[in-house]
A = this chain, B = another copy of it.
């Protein structure tokens, strides 16, 4: 076994152990000492591989995003309705995230920090963000929805923002099985779909254009 393989093994052991303990006891109640002890390494060693406790979480994010993508894509096959596709993707996220709601809360708190690399808007997260926006692009492009072309181009990014809103709600959701988040999706998706359809009406066109323009300008450097 080469040097690099051993190293990778240690790294993976640490992150796996951390995720288990986070899930079992919550983020705050899991100490770095506990993680190190449970993984059979020293505290300093954990910091050799991960620059901070927060950093340990990044790997977890990526895994969850990956699982969402994998689980969501099959749901899109053979479904052409825009609302149905969007609904499927979002409910699927709620399913994937469900087991982690308890401590996921803590994660997203860290993520709210604009300085944090965990922020969904940060450079470090750009890969994951692009992947999520890509999924939304599939939602739009695989559907039969009729849209103003400019809106169509911008819609994936808008939908991603909307998804961030759903996540924010989910974090605050204390209902059993996060039903309220599900209700939010069930009821807001048709609304969005209807709004998107309305966007082709003449009276609505200037508003729609201005929304697209605003988002484009705001996205320029943020």
Contact = CB atoms under 8 A, between A and B. Distances in A.
Nearest to A121: B172
Contacts of A222: 172-174, 180
Interface stretch (A15-23, A91-99, A151-159, A201-209): A201-209
A214 interface: yes
B109 A184 contact: no
Given A191-B207, A194-B207, A198-B207, A113 B121 contact: no
A217 B175 CA distance: 13
A198 B204 contact: yes
Given A172-B114, A222-B180, A214 B198 contact: no
Contact of A214 (B115, B191, B204, B206): B191
A188 B214 contact: yes
Copies per assembly: 2
A187 to B, nearest CB: 5
A195 B201 CA distance: 13
Closest 8 CB pairs of A and B: A112-B112, A109-B113, A114-B172, A187-B214, A109-B112, A194-B207, A191-B210, A114-B171
Interface of A: 105-106, 108-109, 112-115, 119, 121, 169, 171-175, 180, 183-184, 187-188, 190-191, 194-195, 198, 201, 203-204, 206-207, 210-211, 214, 217-218, 221-222
22 contacts: A105-B114, A106-B113, A109-B112, A109-B113, A114-B171, A119-B172, A169-B218, A172-B222, A173-B222, A174-B222, A183-B217, A183-B218, A184-B214, A187-B210, A188-B214, A190-B210, A191-B210, A191-B214, A194-B206, A198-B203, A198-B204, A198-B207
